[in-house]
Amino acid sequence: MMGRSSFGLRIGGFSLQLRRRSLAVCAALVLTGLALGVLLLGTGTLHLTPSEVIDSLLGAGGNPTAERIILRVRLPRLATAMLVGASLGMAGAIFQSLSRNALGSPDIIGFTTGAATGAILQIVLFDAGPLGVSLAAFASCITTAVAVLLLSMRHGATGGYRLVLVGVGIGAILSGINTLLLVKGGLDQAAAAQLWLAGSLNTRTWAHVIPTAIGFAAIVPVVVLNARRTTLLEMGDDIASQLGVAPERTRLTMVMAAVGLTAIATAAAGPIAFVALAGPQLARRLTLSPGLPLASGALMGAVLLLLADLVSQRTPFQVNMPVGLTTGMLGGFYLLWLLTRKRAV
């Protein structure tokens, strides 16, 4: 029997319990994301009002220059930001659930550092272009995740604090390797690598949006189908097994799905710090839901990255910062607040 705070929904052979507060939070996040998107589409050298942006999107603006700028330059950047933020927010929710730790995030565990290693190798040693750098970052992120999983495995099981600690250790090693590669490279290659490491949405085109969208759409169904099993794992492997869940298979499936989300996000925009850490936690605080905050975490991640991009483009003194630096600065304050509020993380 459902209470007033939730209601059931049945689609074919699947049943779903929806919480009214969670739906309200998700709706508010969607509206916030749309408002930020309109502001971002109007931000730039050619400033456009919200009404001009909407008219240009509907093809009724009568300003061909504004339409070209929005459709060819700003809209791909906006779509990339939304997909990257959603991917990181969902990945962070999965990692925090599996590790049972508020610091369980791909940038804390070291997966994004591993992706950076592959990208820097391509830039410094092979002077690769954007496609080669993105593919190398994707492959390196997957390789790092496999190494972390193998080293954190104990008695055939992974996850928990051991996963976080092993990831932090591997991330520290890879960070040192990245520094050595930057020293080894030439001045131009080092500058290009540093620009990629800052995490940026500049010069993003539909060629970045399409593969990111395809990867996100392919992984989300796997995550949704295993969401309930992952929530049961938070009660412990023994209880989850008694409820018919295969703990290690579920954990491995969700870890690889989260790694895939992290890899496509990093390949599209470079390392974006703290969105995966803060997004699902803020979503859980707003929804007050005990379940895995997949939809709300993804929406919150998208909103956070859109907000950071808006702040980056509208900083004083005409300084257009890479969005990765902005999320890093804002995330640092959030992490300090988190550590002062919680006795154990």
Which whole number is the average pLDDT over 19-38? Answer: 92
Cβ-based burial of 307 (10 A; exposed 0-12, middle 13-18, buried ≥19) = buried
Q: Residue 1 above 50 pLDDT?
A: no
Task: Using pLDDT thresholds of 50, 70 and 90, give the confidence band for residue 290.
Answer: confident
- What CATH number has the domain spanning 18-341? 1.10.3470.10
Domain boundaries, the chain: 18-341
Distance CA 89, CA 95 (A): 10
Q: Residue 14 above 60 pLDDT?
A: no
Whole-structure pTM value: 0.88
Q: Where are the alpha helices (DSSP H) in the chain?
A: 20-41, 50-57, 64-69, 75-99, 106-109, 111-126, 130-152, 160-184, 187-197, 206-225, 227-233, 237-242, 247-269, 275-287, 294-313, 323-341
Distance CA 304, CA 33 (A): 9
Which pLDDT tens digit goes with each residue over 36-65? 999 999 988 888 889 989 888 887 766 788
Which pLDDT tens digit goes with each residue over 72-87? 999 999 999 999 999 9
